[in-house]
Amino acid sequence: MPYPIHTLDVFTTEPLGGNPLAVVLDAHDLDAPTMQRIAGELGLSETVFVLSPSDTGALRRLRIFTPAVELPFAGHPTIGTAVLLAELGLVPGEGRTLSFVLEEQVGRVPLTVRRTPDGTLSAMLTAAKAPEAGAAPPGAELLAPILGLSREEIVTTGLGPRAYSAGWPYLIVPLRDEAARARASLDLGRWQEQLANFWAPSLYLVVRGTGSESARIRARMFGPALGIPEDPATGAAALDLIGYLVDEDRPGDGTHRWVVEQGVEMGRPSRLVIEGEVAEGRVRAARLAGSARRMIDGTLRLP
């Protein structure tokens, strides 16, 4: 049976940048094992299967698979699928701004898609839940050799390494400088021994800007438990990072915005915009935005 399939580069306006995504439409009669096998064959960070919603308030229901596991939520698949549905004319409404809801295992995910005068499409999502801190991670003395770094290159002042989740957990590891971020390399054996069974086994390495660049963050993500050796752009981790930044900086109430750059070492530069709505010192809403560019249109054929 034929299924429409598309690929997009997400969190970029340039072709062959950002994080590639596959989207299979009209996948209503595919079961989960088949979806997982398709995602494994495609080998991208995530593959999305678009279904009819069970929630009457949602436009579509998404199931999201990495090459190894199904995820209840992920950022770049949600952003990319929203842009695709709008570009294909599958979102009701007219004008340059369209708002709708997608249903995922984590819950309802509100989205707004915008088209700029030059035709570029971007989307902003609001996470179904605000980021929250999780279990205490291993210390820097154990994390450093996993990452091929010295202990001094991991920042332990402030919050230090800390795990958060806004739908999928990541271990946020602040690094001293750009040199450490660029040089980091996952030791899979040490990761398996020390971190594979942790609540948040995927590592999100971040370097924060200083001075006028304080809202600029550069990141890398290693996710062997997901079947992703390294990811060019990780929206769910960026949403988790909002909780980390608010807990560490204690900003005033209001909307706070950061720009995350990722994928540089992989030759796929990505730009993610994150916003945290803060009230009484807590994150009340977490948002993620980025552009996406449709790359391939085709047909998936299965018996």
Each residue of 49-68: pLDDT tens digit?
999 999 999 999 999 999 99
Map out the domains of the chain as residue ranges. 2-128+291-301, 132-287
Give the pairing of strands 46-51 and 107-115: unpaired
| pLDDT for the residue numbered 69 | 97
pLDDT surpassing 90 at residue 1: no
- pTM of structure: 0.96
pLDDT surpassing 90 at residue 129: yes
| pLDDT for the residue numbered 165 | 98
| pLDDT for the residue numbered 303 | 84
Which residues are catalytically annotated? 46
At the fourth CATH level, the homologous superfamily of domain 132-287 is Diaminopimelate Epimerase; Chain A, domain 1 (3.10.310.10)
> What band does 121 get if pLDDT is binned at 50, 70 and 90?
very high
**Topology adopted by domain 2-128+291-301:** Diaminopimelate Epimerase; Chain A, domain 1 (3.10.310)
> What band does 146 get if pLDDT is binned at 50, 70 and 90?
very high
| Burial class of residue 88 in the structure, from the number of CB atoms within 10 Å of its CB (0-12 exposed, 13-18 middle, 19+ buried) | middle
> What band does 116 get if pLDDT is binned at 50, 70 and 90?
confident
- What three-state secondary structure class fits 32? helix
Q: Which of 264, 71, 239 is nearest to 170 (CA)?
A: 239
Specify the residue for token string 């390494």.
161
pLDDT surpassing 90 at residue 95: no
Residues 6+ apart with CB under 8 A from 35: 27, 47, 49, 63, 65, 70
| pLDDT for the residue numbered 94 | 86
Identify whether the C-beta of residue 3 lies closer than 8 Å to the C-beta of residue 48: no
| pLDDT for the residue numbered 214 | 80
The number of helices, as runs of H, and strands, as runs of E, in the chain is 6, 17
Please state the rounded mean pLDDT for residues 103-127: 95
> What band does 85 get if pLDDT is binned at 50, 70 and 90?
very high
pLDDT surpassing 90 at residue 212: no
Give the pairing of strands 282-301 and 2-10: antiparallel
| pLDDT for the residue numbered 203 | 98
> Where on the phi/psi map is residue 154: left (φ > 0), alpha (ψ -120 to 50), or beta?
beta
Q: Same topology for domains 2-128+291-301 and 132-287, yes or no?
A: yes
| Whole-number Å distance between alpha carbons of 168 and 74 | 7
95 is written with which tokens? 């004008």
Identify whether the C-beta of residue 84 lies closer than 8 Å to the C-beta of residue 294: yes
pLDDT surpassing 90 at residue 193: yes
Render pLDDT for 245-293 as a digit per residue (tens, 0 to 9): 999 999 999 999 999 999 999 999 999 999 999 999 999 999 999 999 9
Q: What are phi and psi of 59, to 5 degrees?
A: -75, -45
Q: What are phi and psi of 294, to 5 degrees?
A: -70, 135
Render pLDDT for 5-26 as a digit per residue (tens, 0 to 9): 999 999 999 999 999 999 999 9
Work out the percent of the chain whose per-residue pLDDT is above 90: 95
Q: Letter for the amino acid at 38?
A: I
Quick count: other Cβ atoms within 10 Å of Cβ 204?
29
Q: Which of 138, 133, 191 is nearest to 166 (CA)?
A: 133
172 is written with which tokens? 């946020």
290 is written with which tokens? 């980025």
pLDDT surpassing 90 at residue 43: yes
Q: What average pLDDT does the chain have?
A: 96
> What band does 211 get if pLDDT is binned at 50, 70 and 90?
confident
CA dihedral 76, 79, 82, 83 (to 10 degrees): -100
